[in-house]
Amino acid sequence: MDAADIAPDLTKVLYTSAEIEARLAELAAQIDRDYAGSNPLLVGVLNGAVMVMADLSRALKIDCEMDWMAISSYGSGTQSSGVVRILKDLNTDLVGRHVLVVEDIIDTGLTLTYLMQNLASRNPATLKIMAMFRKPDAMKIDIDVAYVGFDLPNQFVVGYGLDYAGKYRNLTDVGILAPHVYS
């Protein structure tokens, strides 16, 4: 579905699928250069990063591998709980690997801070972050993000893998969710 299919549920379209695709192509070219010959392991954070992982990995021209983690963060509300739990761990040994964490969105940064500490303790050769979206005004912890798609206003967005109560992940564009949907 695209934004026109659910127009009443969005107050604003922030990025169209074409804009997302173009930005991902730029990031992929950068990652191709930075990781040439190093067979990076892309670590996707379920469920939100499914779309960005699928599109980023296919835009890359270098070899890479993929693995997945599931971490609890939001439940079905719109506020960060700060409660982080590993629901599914990686299948891959990280020792000596070049690990690139692929995230959908960084909001407060609490989830990612926990995740990075956890992954760093597994002795990868390098450990960096790629995030499709980031909300600079919401960040509570300073995190070094090597690759960022777009910076967003501090509002709750849906689409391109980002859900509200399980819905809208299959929205190809990204937009601000209308308050009437969750109030």
Nearer to ligand 5GP, 63 or 151 (CB): 151
Q: Smallest distance from the beta carbon of 121 to ligand 5GP, in angstroms? A: 19
Cβ distance to ligand 5GP smaller for residue 28 or 51: 51
Q: CA quadruple 123, 127, 131, 136: dihedral positive or negative?
A: positive
CA distance linking residue 97 with residue 85, whole number of Å: 24
Nearest to 133 by CA among 97, 85, 174, 94: 174
DSSP 82-117: ---EEEE--SS--TT-EEEEEEEEESSSHHHHHHHH
CB of 97 or CB of 135, closer to ligand 5GP = 135
CB of 82 to ligand 5GP, least distance (A): 7
Provide, rounded to whole angstroms, the least separation between the CB of residue 135 and ligand 5GP: 7
**Residue 47: is the preceding peptide bond cis (ω within 30°)?**
yes
Q: Which residues bind ligand 5GP (CB under 6 A)?
A: 48, 73-74, 80, 104-112, 156-158, 162-164
Which residues are designated catalytic?
107
Which residues are CB-contacts of 125 (< 8 A; sequence separation ≥ 6)?
96, 97, 98, 99
The nearest distance, CB 32 to ligand 5GP, in angstroms, is 25
